[in-house]
Structure 1
Amino acid sequence: MHNDYTSATILSTVTNFIMNHDKPFTHTYRTYIRLRESGPQTLHFWHSNAVDSTWDMGQIAAASDLGGKWRIEAAFVADGGMEPKGDVVKGSQVPLTFDGNISKIVQSGEKFWSDEVQIDIPAGHFLAFTWSITTMSSGKTIPFNTETLLATVYDAPGILADQESSNSYQESENQLVVPTFIGYKKQVEKQLIFLGDSITQGVRTAKDQYEYWVARIAAELPTTTGVWNIGSGWARAYDAATDGAWLYKAKQADEIVIVLGVNDLGTANRIATQLMTDLTTIISTLKINNPLINIILCTVPTFNFTDEQEKAWRKVNDQIRTKPPIGVDRVFDIAEVLSQDAPNDHQLKPEYMTNMYDPHPNGIAGKAIAEAFLAWY
């Protein structure tokens, strides 16, 4: 990554799914993004054409699957206004180029940078990023993030990237199709990265409100601390332990907060020793890459586990609290913040539930975690 750039947003743009169509297509995607700082900006976009983390059990998308070949027809940044309505402020669009070209063919698995671009986003306004993409084949092509969207996204068939109005655009439900890294030119004292699953990404919190715990932490930290959220819905520790596309991003950190394990114990039904082995591998790999990296390991968040999964959750968290893997510099007990009092400490506090059936932490929980983290940090 470029040392002069840090993430311009706390919105996670990690990929956990891939488009799989029976014929080639051309489509335009417009995403509204809150920036950490307003005013004149020099932006620089980096993209990795690969899936970062596994969705479900990997039937369609698994960690480090390579994207197919596709072409960027055109891309623009613009002032998205104060409300994400599908249009952009008239006259504000600026074309994004790649080695001086408006279009670019993206090869399977390719990593690449855009050229720098200057734009002025007023306080309270969104950055609107729009690009038109053509796939070069049928089958699996473009990696993206699918989950309950945390940002407003519109899409439309055809090449409409240069269109200022919302004509033909429809609001998207579950496709976040954006570059991997939205950077802005900023000298920072350190790069702080949050590596985790949907709880780190912020899934189930209110769209466009940035009320999840990582966003709330970033809002209280000085902008001289760069913050990059690489949380990914349905991700698990063994995705990162493969040392593929996702961990490559984590290696850009000076300091990293790791919050993994819910999907390992739940979705994947792995046992405590398997999860601890994967966490140990991740930490060792990061330390070998950068011996000076500061690693904060979190306990596995409370997720209403029962029976054998609850036993594994308790065993892992006991080990993290008392004897974390070699290389861990500090431990933050996120589970303690979220849990009810013992003996029901495997249950999320009711006020922190998304709803009575969904233990994803809501915005109230995000506030509690952020306050506890900042007081501890």
Structure 2
Amino acid sequence: MMNQYASATVVSAACNYIMERPDKFTHTYRTYVKLREHGKLELRFWHSNAIDSTWDTGLVARGGALGGQWRIEAAYVADGGTAPDGSVEPNSQVRVTFDGGSGARSVAPGEKFWSDPVKLDLPEGHLLAFTWTISTDAGGKTVPYNTEQMLVTAYDAPGVRADASDAEGFSLSENLLVMPALIASAKPVRQRLVFLGDSITQGVRTRRDGYEYWAARIADGLGSDYAAWNLGSGWARAYDAAAEGAWLSKVKLGQVPGTGTQIVLALGVNDIDIGARTSEQLLADLNTIITVLRQNDPSAEIILFTVPPFNFSEEREQIWRYVNEQIRSASLPGVDRVFDMAALLSQPAPLEHRLCREFMSSADDPHPNGAAGKVVADAFLAWYLGER
């Protein structure tokens, strides 16, 4: 399937949380995303009913856990216009079907599935609106989703509102991105890139609808004939991927054997921080990820990023320094190229472990801001295009 389709947006829909409610529910979710191409499109939507990465300490959501039983009552794509105001352009909605024409679909725990192809004419500069109504027959843990800061505008409404073109009943969503895992477009591409990382790859703390994070800026700089699938996930850590669960299976899906798919690995901050991993454990997890992806597709090219500065101190600072020394020395087998993101964002020595103040998203938050995203993307594009 991925031979014919490629990711059409840089918005990450990786799942790091799960709905847990006492009673059954029926609810509608509408999300606006900027696609990387416009005009007459053929789209398909792929979903994985599982949690990709661990949230916080894993009390509610742990990487690799399966989603519950739920049902898609209806799903639509539409021209979302130029402003995400909760409505869609009149008469632009096209129903998304499954399994050869069904407008509804029951979803089993851990299930992975594609929609049928859907055609839409999206004018230049307009957003895609994806709307679906989801229901459950019981309470408990059901639908996996992404709970980090919203990087795109989304709305939700109680009841069945998937086919509504107006905004009546919809409220602005916060920390609630309920989307298929992949929006894919039928098109030939020059190169496929998959970005596997944490909230810094996802773009957390940059402006909503701004597409300022480094993965988005890199995709813009390369152009739409390069396919870019962003699998950044807030709180994610390397051991989530090394466990070979749902998250790494998405990377494998993005690999088209024999085409030299490029995989950008940018992990380590949360392993050092809340994951409390030793340097040996983190390096072993990175080695596992690289080995598995190489086995899945020997033609793949692995680009490994250094771990960005995150204002670590004491033992965590020493782990950060040692891991980056190992990455820079190209000592990890199976890595084709190393990109030194940390050097671009760090303060001058001896404070390399601290993020430059102008790149801080706030006075006490070392998530890189949009300015940092530009610095990283500009340097990556110069390095990447210069090497090709």
- TM-score between both structures, scaled by the size of structure 1: 0.99
* Structure 2 letter corresponding to 1:75: A
| Structure 1 counterpart of 2:342, from 332, 335, 339 | 335
Q: 1:216-271, CA deviations, whole angstroms, 9 ceiling, x for partnerless residues?
A: 00001132221100000000000000011100111223110000000000111111
Structure 1 residue aligned with 2:267: 260
3-state SS of paired residue (1:109): coil
* Structure 2 letter corresponding to 1:368: V
Structure 2 residue aligned with 1:368: 375
* Structure 1 letter corresponding to 2:251: A
Q: 1:3-52, CA deviations, whole angstroms, 9 ceiling, x for partnerless residues?
A: 11111100001100000000110000000000001111100001100000
Structure 2 residue aligned with 1:175: 176
* Structure 1 letter corresponding to 2:289: I
How far 1:292 moved relative to its partner? 1.1
In the alignment, structure 1 residue 282 sits paired with structure 2 residue 289:
yes
Matched residue pairs, number? 377
Structure 2 residue aligned with 1:232: 233
Distance 2:340 2:330 in 1: 13
Structure 2 residue aligned with 1:23: 23
3-state SS of paired residue (1:130): strand
Contact 2:44-2:118 at 8 Å conserved across structures: yes
How far 1:57 moved relative to its partner? 1.2
Distance 1:190 1:218 in 2: 11
* Structure 2 letter corresponding to 1:206: R
In the alignment, structure 1 residue 303 sits paired with structure 2 residue 310:
yes
3-state SS of paired residue (1:150): coil
Q: 1:337-358, CA deviations, whole angstroms, 9 ceiling, x for partnerless residues?
A: 1001101111101010000100
Structure 2 residue aligned with 1:74: 74
How far 1:136 moved relative to its partner? 2.3
Structure 2 residue aligned with 1:163: 164
Distance 1:140 1:36 in 2: 34
* Structure 1 letter corresponding to 2:187: K
Distance 1:222 1:147 in 2: 27
Structure 2: runs of 5 or more not aligned: 256-260
How far 1:324 moved relative to its partner? 2.9
How far 1:285 moved relative to its partner? 0.7
In the alignment, structure 1 residue 357 sits paired with structure 2 residue 364:
yes
Structure 1 residue aligned with 2:193: 192
Distance 1:191 1:371 in 2: 19
How far 1:313 moved relative to its partner? 0.1
3-state SS of paired residue (1:215): helix
Distance 1:97 1:170 in 2: 26
3-state SS of paired residue (1:214): helix
3-state SS of paired residue (2:82): coil
Identity across matched positions, percent: 57
Distance 1:202 1:323 in 2: 27
How far 1:288 moved relative to its partner? 1.0
Distance 2:344 2:214 in 1: 12
3-state SS of paired residue (1:308): helix
How far 1:190 moved relative to its partner? 2.5
3-state SS of paired residue (1:183): strand
3-state SS of paired residue (2:382): helix
In the alignment, structure 1 residue 108 sits paired with structure 2 residue 98:
no
Distance 2:347 2:162 in 1: 49
Distance 2:39 2:330 in 1: 46
Contact 2:155-2:173 at 8 Å conserved across structures: yes
- The root-mean-square deviation of aligned C-alpha atoms, in Å, is 0.8
* Structure 1 letter corresponding to 2:65: D
Q: 1:308-351, CA deviations, whole angstroms, 9 ceiling, x for partnerless residues?
A: 00000000000111143110000000000100110111110101
Distance 2:42 2:213 in 1: 27
Distance 1:222 1:179 in 2: 23
How far 1:124 moved relative to its partner? 1.1
Distance 1:112 1:235 in 2: 23
3-state SS of paired residue (2:328): helix
Contact 2:330-2:338 at 8 Å conserved across structures: no
